[in-house]
Every structure is written in C-alpha cells, then in structure tokens.
A = this chain, B = another copy of it.
Amino acid sequence: MSSKLKVGFLMFPYMTALDLTGPAEVLSLVDGNQLYFVAKDLAPVVTEATYSILPTHTFETCPQLDLLCVPGGPGQQRIMHDESMLQWLARQGQGAVWVTSVCSGSLLLGAAGLLRGYRAASHWNYREYLEKFGALPDPARVVHDRNRITGGGVTAGIDFALQVVATIHGEQEAKDIQLMLEYAPQPPFASGTPEEAGSEAVVRVKARLASAVKRLSGESRIASS
C-alpha cells in the first residue's frame, strides 16, 4: 500500500483555499506522505477564503517532489507570467513522478509547458483556455493521461485526490480515507455544472468570477494573453 511520497503544492496569493485543502487533507492521511507547501518566499499566503496559510518551503528550498499539485483560484491569472514560478513548475514537472492540478491550476501547468499533447481538466469557466497551451480540454471531473492527473473546479479536488490515492496507494487506502472523511456527498441542489444550473445562473456566475479576478488585477487580462 504505502510508497511514501513527497507531495508538494504551489501556493500563491488569492488561490482558492478549497482547491488546496481537498487534496492536502486526503494526501496527508496516507501514512508516510510528506507534504510541502511551496511559495516564492515564506510570507503568509492569503487565500480566496480570506485566511492566510504559511508556506513551508520556497522554490529554492523545496526538494524534488514525487507529486506536484497546482491549485487554482482568482489569483491564478496574476501569476501566469511569473518567471520564477514558471521555471520552478517546469523543473519540478520534469522530475516529478506525477504532475497534477485542481481547477484553474491546470492553466499554470499549461503555461509552464507541462500539458502539451495531454488531455486535461479545469474549472468549467476556464477549460477552453487549455487549448492555448497545447492541451486537450476534457470536461471530465478527473482526467488521467499518462502521469498527468487533473481535476475540474474547486470541489473536484476531493474526487481527484481519492483517485490519485487509489492509483498510487491502492483502492483500499482510498476507500478508507473516503470513510474517514465521511465523503458521501449530498449536494442540496442540482446546480454544480453549467448544464444543471442553467443559462441564467451561468451568466451571473461568470460575471462574479470575472469581477473577482478584475478586483485583483486591476485589469481584465485573461489567462494566456
């Protein structure tokens, strides 16, 4: 069951806390896994959920990871051209056994050149931009293509992480963790995808997502521009 892994998460301002926490919770429960929370420097990183997390490592001090995981969030567009971050992702991505993301984190993997020719998932509102990086957008909630495993928007990170554990550590370990986390979801509404929510909701939510990004960047640059 247990090949112990060095699991590292990219951290950046206004990342979505739940993109990170779903996988971090699941992967931390695998006995022996060591988690790394990696940012440009060790200053606290503010998340979309308004709380701040302390990084444990910088791009310089983080060892080669076995599993690289990149979360997304409204802050993703602001760092799309950050050279030190892109170089770190590219370097880690070449050496890692598994290269993974949740939500719009896949656009960061793409910008680092790590998804060319790979099928990949992303948040429904950003999925189409994957094409600009040579990736093949896939609407599945979790997409596994060779050693790339990518999840859809935010809460997909929990389904994603359980699949990662099943793939690497075996089904029994994934099922036990699912029980530990009482993961038998009962969404109160059928509103989790654009198809379910309907076009009026999609218009409202697209506007909210755009204004969250705009508030941060002071401009409406989109992913790859």
Contacts and interface: CB of A to CB of B under 8 A. Distances in A.
B51 A25 contact: no
Contacts of A28: 48-50
A166 B188 contact: yes
Nearest to A190: B184
How many of these chains are in the complex? 2
B24 A16 contact: no
Contact of A191 (B159, B175, B189, B190): B175
A222 interface: no
A34 B44 CA distance: 19
A44 B43 CA distance: 12
Interface residues of A, number: 64
B51 A54 contact: yes
Interface string A178-218: 11111111111111111011000110110011000000000
A98 interface: no
Given A44-B54, A156-B182, A183-B185, 10 more contacts: A18-B22, A24-B50, A24-B51, A37-B51, A51-B54, A103-B182, A154-B181, A154-B182, A159-B187, A179-B191
Instruction: Give the top 6 A-B pairs by smallest Cβ distance, nearest first.
Output: A153-B182, A184-B192, A175-B191, A185-B185, A21-B21, A18-B25
